[in-house]
Amino acid sequence: MKNIRSIKNFWAMNFLLGLLIIAVGFTSCSDDDDSNGSAPITISKVFLEDADSSVPDREVSFARLGQLIRIEGSGFSGLRKVYINGYSTYFNPVLVSDNSMILRISSETPTTDADAELRNTIRFVKDAAETTYDFEIRAAAPSITSISNTLPAEGEYIMLSGSGLTEIERIVFPGGVVVTSDITSDEDGEFCIVKMPVGVSEEGGSIMVEGSNGGAYSPAYFNFKKGVILDFDGNGTQGHWGAATNAGMITPDDLLSAAIGEGSVSKGNYVPHRPARIDTIYAAKNRNTEVWTAGNGVDNWRGQLTPYIPASTAVDKVGFQFDIYVPDAWSGTGFLKLCLINNFNGGEWTGATYNYVPWIVDGKVVPFQTTGWTTVTIPFSKFYKFSDGTFTFEDVLAERENASYANFGMYFENSNIVLSNVTGNSGDSETELVSSKTTIRVYTDNWRVVSLEKPTYSDFED
C-alpha cells in the first residue's frame, strides 16, 4: 500500500508540474493576445484534469461541479467572461492561451435548476466576440456519508444518507450481491432506502450505488462481522469486577435480551447503560456506570483486526462502531465515554478516550432519539490522544498493548460540560452546560472496529 501511494504521489507531482509548465506556456503567449477581442472563438475538445486518475488528462463529453477542465479551441485571447449554465465562472488569465484554457467548474453552478436555455452550456465572451458551446454539466458526484445500521438482519431496511443519491437503480453489497428493485430514492438525493438482502459477505466492505447522477461507494464498514470485539452474545468476552462494592459495574446479569426498537430491532443481548436496578443517575457525577471487555490475555486486536485493517492505516480511516437505541428524547445532560484502555477515573476530556454527546449538534442542544437501533461511527482520530498529529492504527494498537489494563469500555457520565470540549471552538469555553439528574434509557450493542476507507468511483471505464 505504501508503494502504491508513493507511485500515485509521484504521478500527481508530475501532473501538477505539467500544469505549471502549461501555465508558463500560456503566459508566454500573452504578447500575441487579440487586443480588440474580435477574433472568433471556436471550441474543439474538453478534457477532465484529474491527477488521481489513471488517465489524468481525459477527453470528456460532460463534467461535474468542482472538477477541473481544460478546453481546447482557438480565439481565447482577450477572453473576458465565462458563463457555465449561466453562472459567471472565475478563471485565471495565466491559464489562458489563444488555443487552450484551464478552469474549475464552481460548486455554485446551477444544474437541474438552471434556466432551460442555459442548461448544459458554456458561454465564452470577449469584447467583440462570443460563442456558446453545448456541454453537459452534472451535479457533484454522489456520496454516501452514513448508513443507518451497518449490521442489519436480512430483510431489514437500511437508509444510506449523503448527497446526489437521485434515482438509485442498482446497489451492490459486499460479496457482489446486487439489488435492482425495491429501492426508494429521495427526490433531493439526500438518501435512499433498501432492504438488506441474503448472502452479504460477513467480511464486509463497501456498498456501491448507481443512479441518474452516477455512482458512489460507502466506507468499507458494512457488515464487517470480523471486526466485532464484543456483542454480548459470544463474540468477544465481557469483563467485570468489584460489583459488590461498585454499583455502577455492569455485569452479564444486567444485560437485557427482550426485543426492542422499531424497524431495526435488537438481536440477542445488549447493554442498558442505566441497569434496571439503578432508578436515577444523579448530577455532577462521573463514571456513573461502566461496562468493559475482558482485556489482558483475552482481547487481541492485532491478531483479530490487522488481517483486514493494516496497522499502517491512518487513524481517520479506521474507527470504532457501535449500535445505539435511545427510545426517549435525550437532551441536556449525560454522555457516553469511550475508553480505549482501562485507565480513567471519569471526567476526562483528554487521553485515549472520547466523549460521545449526541444531543449537541453544531454547538446547539438538539434532543437525540432513535426509533430503532442506529449505528454510530467514531474515527480513532476523534479520540483525544490521536486528534492532533499524524497517527496510524499502529499507535492505537500500541496504546492498548502497552497499557496495564487493556480493557475497552464505556462509562455513562453525568457531569457539567464545557461546550468548547465538544465543539473545539475556543469561543465556547465560557459556556457550561450544567448537568441534572436523569432517568434516560440508553442501550448499546455490537461493539466493533471497522475500516473507514472508501473506494473511488469513476464515471469512466479506464
Residue 137 has a pLDDT of 97
Looking at the fold, whether 262 and 398 belong to one and the same domain comes out as yes
Looking at the fold, whether 194 and 233 belong to one and the same domain comes out as no
Residues spanned by the domain of 31 = 2-138
Quick check: is 459 in a domain? no
- Report how many domains make up the chain: 3
Looking at the fold, whether 151 and 126 belong to one and the same domain comes out as no
Looking at the fold, whether 158 and 83 belong to one and the same domain comes out as no
State which residues of the chain have pLDDT below 50. Answer: 1-13, 16-17, 20, 23-34
Residue 395 has a pLDDT of 99
Strand partners, 376: 322
Looking at the fold, whether 204 and 55 belong to one and the same domain comes out as no
Residue 162 has a pLDDT of 98
Residue 208 has a pLDDT of 99
Quick check: is 462 in a domain? no
Domain boundary (138, 171, 194) is at 138
Residue 15 has a pLDDT of 52
Residue 458 has a pLDDT of 93
46-92 pLDDT, tens digit per residue, is: 999 998 889 999 999 999 999 999 999 999 999 999 999 999 999 99
CATH number at residue 128: 2.60.40.10
Quick check: is 461 in a domain? no
Domain boundary (87, 113, 138) is at 138
Residue 14 has a pLDDT of 55
Quick check: is 457 in a domain? no
Domain boundary (94, 120, 138) is at 138
